[in-house]
A and B are shown apart, each in its own frame.
Chain A
């Protein structure tokens, strides 16, 4: 019976459900199929909260004014308890929170259940960069998706816990090392939206940003094809620079000579480097290739052996392009 009541209340409420797209005082723009539901629930809870807040504060103010201590005024006797009244003001919040729970839970079920035909994108978080891998193997630093199509993200982390958060879609999911986490969404409006990392992950946490680019109908496939062929359409140096930016090199290696977590790439090609084991090596094609695939083999003196391997993550032509790019930074 309660269920029927709640369900009928819900359908009545659903009929009134507004569909704003623009950002409101409280919320960012609504760009996914979830957003309207989440915002509607937010406004329902806000309405309930404002009602109780006004009730509490108004009674408090009225009582303080009416019963303020003053000459000739004394406290009047009144009952010190009233069981029916107290049961009522226990029962009303119980009913209210049950409804809120129900609304939150049913909307959540939609968010937790991806449709079978969703387009899948692999996401990897690492300090402090997102990479998005498309079904054809192409990797990008931003999440490109077609509009009006369910997208399923399969996410993992290379180091600590991150959390992929897109406010415009109202989605958030932790990305945990050692397991895959999944979430899905369907974008409703083409455009460019912010992606944040929402789980604290260290120095660059607040710069672990990306964009979701929602493509208008038919344009996503064109974009993907063009972007995937970057090794063919760009010069090796340009392709190498793109890989440097997209694949996580840039977080630790600068190109302006400043030492970050790893040595800078500026002016190192062809030069000798002191290693942490005391020996020396000349930076050439073989050393760069080895450092990408087996980063711990020859660590430059003064740096920690913390780089993850790219074995199996970069293809030979991509490694070639990176070598050409580092070469272009030589003195």
Chain B
């Protein structure tokens, strides 16, 4: 192997890509974006749409929290409130959090991590985006023609008898499902067929294991939701009795069908987040990930077990005691792989050299919040305590700790981690810390209070409430305003970075995965050379270069399949 002078080789590599145009400038005009097959552009468009959905869902959440400042009416009537919490749930789940990490960050990063030019099926990737847009439009139509008041779970027979725009929303979710299936299918094919030379299954970055496990669930579980929703539409429009007992149907059957998708869907949300954690914690600890195989296997274990636990949403629905026992036992099994991952991440930090840049701050917040979210699941998996806590604010707090404290915080970690790669700009580290602090404090104030009021018996989805819960509700609402302020700060410094941000080096964090081996932002074709993958966590292979304000490889030729051609 040629051992050229590192600096020299490095300059040469620099010259090749960074003088050229990036994927952002490659092709001008709106059509070059709307018809693009470039996974990076599709990822960025997904990111924009998803952040817009997050804003919309967040506004609904703030309206809900504001209404709950006082019992009875504060700013809206009961029917409006019921629509607000439904829209908050539906928008956040179907438009934001399910596609969040896979479709936005995953789309951008996955081919780059493979050293590939694109995903295996670029047209399917664009189709997925258009499915998302179509589904989102239907959901928006639903909001404008009377909205929907069923809760995001669409339980029958309420959803088949209420007068609101259920069909629009349900069809929107149906189409959004295809967007999710297409992304999953694409990732499965891409990971199977396009790994570079040297990247065996157990040399894949752990984000790819997370995305792979996610994709399996997306492809296998989403069709069940699609069929369930079509049956719901058939019942509403044609009067076919499937779920409504007055037509000879069974309302609890809907719950089985719905949760058969929607419980695995929880893992569609959290698995990619866990993948992001593995990348970030290793990189910022300057340590090889600890227990790679256990983390990889645990992703697959979660994907499999996630299909077997849906009945834990139905402990008080009237399903048999035997079913309750089996589902309770299986539910606890799914806790194990999550616990293993947490221990492995902590162990990764041992003897490291830990840098507290924004992605790592969010990763630490993730460990704190996800631990609470995961551990409070134990109360809900145990039958006797779940009977009391089911459908109270305890459940609301639990899933917000997992979904927000887990997935959203990991999404923010990933967003800050890959932001320099996506846009070639650095953001203000100082303001990032301010935002992270506001979000952390606001989040805990909003949701920890909900554990306490929930265990005291405050039911969820309540417009009005008894006076003893007032203090908890008010604290929670104040927390939500602090949380929102944190996001406003974040929006400002991220947008500011696009305009005024310092130019990002190729590898600002010193990660060893391949996406950092191209320029920031990458050229349209990603890499100039065929890549050779090594150990994705061999961080010793990188060294800080003050000249570039970033990390460079000690031996740049080590990641090239044909080093001779590059020189």
Contacts and interface: CB of A to CB of B under 8 A. Distances in A.
Interface string B131-161: 0000000000000000001110001011001
A3 interface: no
A256 B371 CA distance: 53
B440 to A, nearest CB: 13
Given A42-B455, A93-B335, A81 B292 contact: yes
B384 A104 contact: yes
B554 interface: no
Interface of A: 23, 25-28, 34, 37-38, 41-42, 45-46, 48-49, 52-53, 56-57, 59-60, 63-64, 67-69, 73-82, 85-86, 89-90, 93-94, 97-98, 100-101, 103-105, 107-109, 111-112, 159-161, 163, 165, 167-168, 170-174, 176-179, 181, 194, 196-207
Contacts of B285: 67, 75
Contact of A206 (B292, B324, B325, B463): B463
Contacts of B346: 56, 59-60, 63
Contacts, number: 258
B400 to A, nearest CB: 17
A37 B384 contact: yes
Contact of B452 (A25, A67, A107): A25
A187 to B, nearest CB: 16
B31 interface: no
B289 interface: yes
Given A100-B332, A174-B316, A165 B457 contact: yes
Given A75-B286, A100-B381, A204 B158 contact: no
B457 A196 contact: yes
Interface of B: 78-79, 82, 149-151, 155, 157-158, 161-162, 245-246, 250-252, 285-294, 316-318, 321, 324-325, 328-329, 332-333, 335-336, 339-340, 342-344, 346-347, 349-356, 364, 367-368, 371-372, 375-376, 378-379, 381-388, 390-392, 452, 455-457, 459-466, 537, 539
A262 to B, nearest CB: 15
Contact of A97 (B336, B391, B392): B336
B391 A69 contact: no
14 contacts: A38-B384, A38-B388, A42-B388, A57-B371, A64-B349, A75-B352, A85-B347, A93-B335, A97-B333, A105-B384, A179-B245, A196-B459, A202-B149, A205-B461
B342 A80 contact: no
Contact of B466 (A63, A108, A194): A194
A94 B346 CA distance: 19
A225 to B, nearest CB: 31
Nearest to B390: A172
Task: Tell me the dominant secondary structure on chain B's binding face.
Answer: helix
B465 A81 contact: no
Top 6 nearest A-B pairs by Cβ distance?
A167-B457, A178-B245, A104-B382, A107-B384, A108-B383, A206-B462
B235 to A, nearest CB: 14
Contacts of A205: 82, 461-463
A93 B539 CA distance: 31
A142 to B, nearest CB: 16
Contacts of B391: 163, 165, 172, 198-199
B350 A73 contact: no
Contact of B387 (A80, A108, A168, A206): A108
Contact of A177 (B251, B287, B352, B461): B251
Contacts of A45: 378-379, 382, 385
Contact of B336 (A28, A93, A163, A178): A93
A167 B157 contact: no
Given A23-B456, A165-B457, A202-B158, A98 B332 contact: yes
A74 B286 contact: yes
B381 A177 contact: no
Nearest to B465: A206
B459 A165 contact: yes
Nearest to B376: A49
B157 A75 contact: no
Contacts of B367: 56-57, 60
